[in-house]
Every structure is written in structure tokens, then in C-alpha cells.
């Protein structure tokens, strides 16, 4: 999947699935996020329950496959994180969403599947992964805009901290101070306790715990510079430009090296560590790229004046 060879990935997954079926392990056992749900059951014309057992970013990334699943299923219910319901329920073919909890789902269904297993089940090819346009849309928001009109420089939204899984993804916030300069203004989308570091960075805090408001605020900045965590996937799914900061042994969904793009999000640009644990070089590359980007923006403004 990292290489984009999805046919080969599904072939490997088929063998794994066959071994799991032979094991005799009960279908819903163990911690929720470790449960194996789909065992290869037929999905066509059946009422399908989609369980979103992993992180918010995983649900957002794999939500792109829900309309394709809906085309073959006889009904589609998505049991997802409550904060994502307003986004998921707007997808074509989703009949109902329910807030995820630790109990049993309150829905009638014939077969259930975890959202990250959908591409295997429907044998998704590269053309389905490489959706060129945004696949999520936002409901209207009552929140007021954070950025005033008539800005001339670049407005950059920042995220530098991650959850407890794989802390190697986090960037020390003091390094991000280097990104501020004439023509580049920093804004913080960082949620939680880590948002207190915004003042240290010199970024204006416009963070919010509400994902719909966050999505709208992402549309106000020129681009998002973020570590590998949920806001990257939200920005990508909404069609916003995102620059992703990746550690040397990054997750399977990103290529291991290079400062190019990714098949998952056409407006994403990836910046990799050259040495494990060393972020200074990455931030310097981003700083130079921002300066080049700002020069282009200023030239465009002069030409249009």
C-alpha cells in the first residue's frame, strides 16, 4: 500500500484473512481497536455496518471508500466517532450514522466491517484512491472568521503535537519559530494542552475542539504545516493544501523518502527527516519553501494590481 501496488496488497491480505478464518478466534474479542471484524463475507446487496475503530485521521482517510461501498451494499450505516458524524453523514450513499461507543451498535445489519478494511473488501484500485478533488464537505458554521481581509503575506496554520501513539511524529514547538518572517504569519490549530506553546512559537491561537469549525478555519489560511496527525487528513479530504512533516520511519501511508506528494491527497507535500529524530533540517526546508511560495504570491499580487 505504501508503494501504491494495491492489487498486491489485497492478495497478501487475502492470505492473512484466510488464516484468520481458520484460527477459530471469535469475531468480536479483545480491545475494540484490535478487533477483527470482516471475515470475507459478501457485501453486495447486504445491510452493512461500518465500524470506525481507529483514530479520527484513519476514519477521515478511509471515508473516501464509503460511496463505492454504498453502490454495492443494500444499505449502509456508519458507526463513527461523534465529532465526525456531521461530515460522514453528508457522503453519498450513507443511510445513517451513529455515535461510536463501547457497547453494542443499535442497528440492524447483515455484515459488519471496519472502515480501514473497506478498500480490501471492494478491491479498490489506485484510481479509486487517487480522488483528485475533495471528498468531504462541511456543513455551514456559525463561527465568525478569524482572519481579516486584505492580507498580503502567507497565513500558515500549524500543528506540532500528536496523540500518545508514536510520539516520534511530534515536532518540538520552539523549532517552528523559524518559519515566521516578513510576509509569513503563523496561526496555531494545535488542540489540547500543547496549544499553550503557540505563544512561544509566535503563532496566533485559532484552535478549536470542533472539527467543523476547524475545517472552515483551514479554508481561511493559505496552507497547513502539520505533523502526521488528524488535521492533515481533514485538510486533505476537504481539498486544502497541507505540508506534512514526517519522521524517518514514517507510517505506511506515506512514502519513506522524498519531498514529493502522495496518491492519497493531491494537495499534500511531504517533508521527511533525513536522520531519525532530527527535525532542524526538515524545518529549514519548510522555511525555504515558504519563502519561495511567498515570493510567488507577492509577484502574483503585483501583476494583478
| Vertex 268 angle, CA 262 and 270, to 5° | 70
pLDDT surpasses 80 at 98: yes
Assigned C-alpha cell, 237: 479530504
95-110 mean pLDDT: 93
CB 156 within 8 A of CB 291: no
287-291 mean pLDDT: 95
Nearest alpha carbon to residue 50 among 122, 136, 138:
122
Q: Supply φ then ψ for residue 77, to 5 degrees.
A: -120, 135
Query: What pLDDT score does 149 carry?
Result: 62
Task: Quickly state the pLDDT bin for 305 (edges 50, 70, 90).
Answer: low
pLDDT surpasses 90 at 173: yes
Query: What pLDDT score does 3 carry?
Result: 86
pLDDT surpasses 70 at 272: yes
Instruction: Specify the higher pLDDT residue, 187 or 143.
Output: 187
284-292 mean pLDDT: 95
**Percent composition of the chain: helix, strand, coil (DSSP 3-state, to 5):** 40, 15, 45
Q: What is the pLDDT of residues 179-227, one digit of tens each?
A: 998 889 999 999 998 999 999 999 999 999 999 999 999 999 999 999 9
Task: Quickly state the pLDDT bin for 24 (edges 50, 70, 90).
Answer: confident
Q: What is the pLDDT of residues 48-84, one digit of tens each?
A: 999 999 999 999 999 999 999 999 999 999 999 999 9
Percentage of the chain beyond pLDDT 90 is 74
Q: What is the pLDDT of residues 156-165, one digit of tens each?
A: 999 999 998 8
110-119, 129-138, 234-243: the lowest-pLDDT one: 129-138
Nearest alpha carbon to residue 120 among 30, 29, 15:
15
CB 250 within 8 A of CB 256: yes
Query: What pLDDT score does 32 carry?
Result: 78
- CA 159 – CA 100 distance, rounded (Å): 26
Query: What pLDDT score does 257 carry?
Result: 82
Average pLDDT, the chain: 92
Q: Supply φ then ψ for residue 115, to 5 degrees.
A: -60, -30
- CA 70 – CA 75 distance, rounded (Å): 7
C-alpha dist (Å) from residue 107 to 51, 96, 112, 268: 12, 10, 11, 37
pLDDT surpasses 70 at 167: yes
Close Cβ partners of 305 (under 8 Å, ≥ 6 residues apart): none
Task: Quickly state the pLDDT bin for 304 (edges 50, 70, 90).
Answer: confident
Nearest alpha carbon to residue 104 among 35, 40, 24, 54:
35
Helix (H, G, I), strand (E, B) or coil at 258: coil
Could you state, in order of their start, the residue ranges of all structural domains in the chain? 6-13+22-129, 154-304
Q: Spell out the CATH class of 154-304.
A: alpha beta
pLDDT surpasses 80 at 99: yes
Q: How far apart are the first and last CA of the chain?
A: 46
Query: What pLDDT score does 25 carry?
Result: 83
Q: What is the DSSP letter of 75?
A: E
Amino acid at each position: 500500500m505504501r508503494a501504491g501496488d494495491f492489487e498486491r496488497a489485497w492478495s497478501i491480505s487475502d492470505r492473512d484473512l484466510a488464516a484468520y478464518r481458520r484460527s477459530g478466534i471469535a469475531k468480536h474479542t479483545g480491545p475494540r481497536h484490535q478487533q477483527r471484524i470482516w471475515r470475507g463475507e459478501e457485501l453486495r446487496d447486504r445491510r452493512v455496518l461500518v465500524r470506525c475503530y481507529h483514530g479520527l485521521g484513519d476514519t477521515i482517510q478511509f471515508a473516501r471508500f464509503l460511496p463505492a461501498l454504498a453502490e454495492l451494499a443494500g444499505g449502509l450505516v456508519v458507526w463513527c466517532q461523534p465529532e465526525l458524524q456531521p461530515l460522514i453523514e453528508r457522503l453519498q450513499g450513507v443511510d445513517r450514522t451513529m455515535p461510536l461507543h463501547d457497547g453494542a451498535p443499535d442497528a440492524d445489519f447483515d455484515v459488519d466491517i471496519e472502515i480501514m478494511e473497506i478498500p480490501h473488501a471492494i478491491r479498490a484500485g489506485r484510481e479509486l484512491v487517487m480522488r483528485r478533488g475533495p471528498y468531504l464537505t462541511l456543513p455551514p458554521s456559525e463561527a465568525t472568521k478569524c482572519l481579516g481581509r486584505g492580507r498580503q503575506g502567507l497565513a500558515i496554520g500549524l500543528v506540532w503535537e500528536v496523540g500518545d501513539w508514536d510520539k516520534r511524529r511530534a515536532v518540538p514547538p520552539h523549532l517552528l519559530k523559524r518559519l515566521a518572517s516578513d510576509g509569513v504569519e503563523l496561526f496555531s490549530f494545535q488542540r489540547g494542552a500543547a496549544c499553550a506553546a503557540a505563544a512561544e512559537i509566535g503563532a496566533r491561537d485559532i484552535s478549536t475542539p470542533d472539527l467543523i469549525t476547524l475545517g472552515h478555519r483551514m479554508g481561511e489560511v493559505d496552507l497547513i504545516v502539520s505533523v502526521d496527525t488528524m488535521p492533515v487528513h481533514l485538510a486533505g479530504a476537504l481539498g486544502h493544501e497541507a505540508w506534512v512533516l514526517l519522521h524517518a520511519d514514517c507510517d505506511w501511508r506515506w512514502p519513506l523518502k522524498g519531498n514529493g506528494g502522495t496518491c492519497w491527497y493531491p494537495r499534500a507535500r511531504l517533508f521527511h527527516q533525513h536522520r531519525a529524530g532530527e527535525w532542524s533540517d526538515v524545518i529549514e526546508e519548510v522555511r525555504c519553501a515558504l519563502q519561495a511560495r511567498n515570493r510567488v504570491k507577492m509577484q502574483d499580487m503585483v501583476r494583478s494590481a
